[in-house]
A = this chain, B = another copy of it.
Amino acid sequence: MNLKQLSHMLSLSQTTVSRALNGYPEVSEETRRRVMDAAKRHGYRPNPSARRLATGKSGMIGYVLPTGASVDIDPHFVEFLSGLGDYARSHELDLVLSPADADDEETTYRRIVANRQVDAVYLSAPRPADKRLALVNTLGIPFIVHGRSEGFDFDYPYLDIDNEGAFHEAGRLLVQLGHKRLALINGNDRETFAIHRERGMRRALAASGLMLGERHVCSLTMTEENGYRAARRLLEDSDPPTAIACSSLIMALGVVRAVRDLGLTIPGDLSLVAHDDVFPWLRPENFPVPLSTTRSSIRLAGARVAERLAARISGLEEVARGEVWPVDLVVRGSVAGAPV
Contacts and interface: CB of A to CB of B under 8 A. Distances in A.
A78 B73 contact: yes
Given A48-B115, A56-B49, A225-B283, A86 B98 contact: no
Interface string A78-115: 11011011101100111111111100000000010011
Interface of A is mostly: mixed
A286 interface: yes
Contacts of A96: 60, 94-97
A19 to B, nearest CB: 21
A60 B280 CA distance: 31
Contacts of A286: 224-225, 228, 254, 257
Nearest to A101: B89
B47 A68 contact: no
B53 A283 contact: no
A223 B280 contact: yes
Contacts of A228: 286
A101 to B, nearest CB: 6
Contact of A281 (B95, B99, B111, B222): B222
Interface string A32-75: 00000000000001011110110010101000010111011111
A137 interface: no
Interface magnitude class on chain A: 35 or more
Contacts of A81: 65, 73, 97
A311 interface: no
A288 interface: yes
26 contacts: A45-B114, A45-B115, A49-B52, A49-B53, A49-B116, A50-B53, A52-B53, A60-B96, A65-B81, A67-B82, A72-B281, A73-B78, A75-B78, A84-B99, A85-B99, A86-B99, A92-B111, A94-B117, A96-B96, A96-B97, A223-B280, A223-B281, A224-B286, A225-B281, A225-B283, A257-B288
Interface of A: 45, 47-50, 52-53, 56, 58, 60, 65, 67-69, 71-75, 77-79, 81-82, 84-86, 88-89, 92-101, 111, 114-117, 222-225, 228, 250, 253-254, 257, 260-261, 279-283, 286, 288
